[in-house]
Structure 1
Amino acid sequence: MDKTADRAELRLREEGWRHDPADGFIAHVGGLWRRGASFGLLATPHLVNRNGYVHGGMLMTFVDRAFGETSRVAAGAARGATVSLTHQFMAPMRIGSFAELDPKVVRLTGRMAFLEGTVICEGVPVVSAQGVWRLTHSTDTPPPTGRATRG
């Protein structure tokens, strides 16, 4: 990692953010930052698109992870899956910058969570998003395997 990124990470840690490297795909893209219920994205060079800004797919991944985790925690669910996620891109995010997202649970039922939020970078809205998550609690019966049957 370069010295600029090292300085940015040090500043984030001093501000109370902690890096969550996670696993799977999120680990592959560099993990995210957490502070309380807020999520953060440090725009490192490997997230660049052809125009020199953070790739839109990374911004969508950031929102997906933040909304998914927020929905599971709010519901006390063991697992969750994205049903629907829409994004409105409002401004580009520069490489080297840091963005924050505070997901809001708009509605919560026994099996579904509805969320919204806006990614803010240096005071500027970058992405606005709305999503729906299907929640699975540890007491739920797993889905059947094999062929579906008709009653």
Structure 2
Amino acid sequence: MGPKHPDEAVFREFLIAVLLHNEAVADRLGLQPVDVAAAILLETRGPLAVGAISEELGLPSASTTRLIDRLEKAGYVRRVRGERDRRTVTVELVEGGLGDYEAACEASRRHLGAVGAHYGPEHVPLLLDMFTRVTEAYRSATQELRADAT
């Protein structure tokens, strides 16, 4: 059973391409795709508490601990204990730690740069708005799926 609307097929192909690219980047780095998502999350938002990473990625705490272990072993992140409360742990990127990630994404940046050249500055607000709305839609759908599973 295919998509009900032709535009849906285009969007599904987009999602497949993004998922497979993330998997290829993870393979190149010797990581899991969710590890790459965590590294991007830390790059975007800055240092995060272990619990915040767990919540954002929808992982149990034990899985998050293993994820952080993998990223730490690979040299991408470090754990930082709280100065006041040593029990609190924040995870932060290591300076220059995403160099391998940046190299692995060079081809996608090159190809996406060519796509970006196709659009003028007047298109940027619309495209950013669309990505913001699609992101929120997927976050909401993910929360609903996880809530239904419990």
- Which TM-score applies when normalising by structure 2? 0.24
Name the structure where helix makes up a greater proportion of residues: 2
Q: Please state which structure has a larger fraction of its residues in strand.
A: 1
- With normalisation by structure 1, the TM-score equals 0.24
Which of structures 1 and 2 has the larger relative contact order (alpha carbons within 8 angstroms, sep 6+)? Answer: 1
